[in-house]
C-alpha cells in the first residue's frame, strides 16, 4: 500500500517524513521525486510513505497510478501556516503562487492575505480530492503525537513507534522565527 501525505507546506511535512522513517514495513521520504517529469514524478516504490506538499499539483496522476492509495491530510493551524509562509514570502511556492498563479497581483496586495489565500486554496484542493476517497485520515500538527499514533495503528505500522513519536519533539526545517 502506498501512502501519500498531502499538505500546504510549512506544516511539519519534514517531521512527518522523519517520523514515518521509523516504520519498518514501509519506506518513507520527503519530496523524493522532486525534479522529475511526467510519470516519473509520481512513480514510488510499493509500501512507501511520500510526504510532499507539491503532490497537490499531481493528484490526478496519483489517483490514476495508485487507486488503492491511503492519504493523509497533514494540517497545521491556518494562521500559523500563513505566518510561516510570510517569513519566506519572496521564495519557494508562496512566491510562485503570488507571482505566477495569481498573476498580475498588485504589489500593494497584503502579503498575509496572499499567504492565507494560498493556504485556503491548497486546503480546498486537498479537501475536494479526498471527499470521495475511502482511505484517508487527517493528522493535525497541533495534536501530532496522538494523530500520528492513530496513523501508525491505521496502517498497521511496524517498527519503532517510540522513536517516531520523539521526532515530533524536534523542529525539523523550522522557518525564521519558528523554533
Q: What percent of the chain has pLDDT over 70?
A: 96
pLDDT of the residue at 177? 53
pLDDT of the residue at 171? 78
Question: Considering the entire predicted model, what is its pTM?
Answer: 0.94
Tell me: pLDDT of 176 over 70: no
Place of cell 487507486: 67
Set out the domains of the chain in order of their start, with CATH numbers. Answer: 3-169 (3.40.50.300)
From 58-62, 65-69, 74-78, 175-179, the region with the lowest mean pLDDT = 175-179
pLDDT of the residue at 179? 47
Tell me: pLDDT of 36 over 70: yes
* Cα Rg of the chain, angstroms: 16
3-class SS string, the chain: CCEEEECCCCCCHHHHHHHHCCECCCEEEECCCCCCCHHHHHCCCCCEEEECHHHHHCHHHHHHHCCCCEEEEEECCHHHHHHHHHCCCCCHHHHHHHHHHCCCCCCCCCHHHHHHHHHHHHHHHHHHHHCCCCCEEEEEHHHHHHHHHHHHHHCCCCECHHHHHHHHHCCCCCCCCCC
pLDDT of the residue at 178? 52
pLDDT of the residue at 84? 96
The rounded distance, in Å, linking the Cα atoms of 174 and 170 is 9
pLDDT tens-digit readout, 78-135: 999 999 999 999 999 999 999 999 999 998 999 999 999 999 999 999 999 999 999 9
C-alpha cell at 95: 512566491
Round the average pLDDT of the chain to a whole number and report it: 95
The rounded distance, in Å, linking the Cα atoms of 130 and 125 is 9
Check: CB of residue 3 under 8 Å from CB of residue 49: yes
47-54: average pLDDT: 97
Check: CB of residue 157 under 8 Å from CB of residue 3: no
Amino acid at each position: 500500500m502506498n501512502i501519500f501525505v498531502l499538505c500546504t507546506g510549512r506544516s511539519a511535512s519534514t517531521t512527518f517524513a522523519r517520523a514515518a522513517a521509523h516504520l519498518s514495513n514501509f519506506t518513507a521520504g520527503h519530496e523524493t521525486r522532486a525534479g522529475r517529469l511526467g510519470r516519473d514524478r509520481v512513480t514510488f516504490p510499493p509500501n512507501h510513505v511520500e510526504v510532499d506538499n507539491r503532490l497537490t499539483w499531481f493528484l490526478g496522476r496519483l489517483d490514476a497510478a495508485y487507486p488503492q492509495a491511503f492519504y493523509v491530510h497533514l494540517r497545521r493551524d491556518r494562521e500559523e501556516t500563513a505566518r510561516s509562509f510570510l517569513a519566506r514570502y519572496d521564495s519557494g511556492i508562496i512566491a510562485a503562487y503570488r507571482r505566477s498563479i495569481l498573476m498580475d497581483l498588485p504589489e500593494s496586495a497584503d502579503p498575509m492575505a496572499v499567504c492565507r489565500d494560498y493556504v485556503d486554496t491548497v486546503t480546498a484542493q486537498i479537501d475536494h480530492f479526498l471527499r470521495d476517497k475511502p482511505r484517508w485520515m487527517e493528522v493535525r500538527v497541533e495534536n501530532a503525537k496522538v494523530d500520528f499514533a492513530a496513523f501508525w495503528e491505521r496502517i498497521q505500522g511496524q517498527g519503532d513507534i517510540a522513536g517516531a513519536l520523539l521526532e515530533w519533539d524536534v523542529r525539523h526545517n523550522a522557518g525564521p522565527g519558528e523554533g
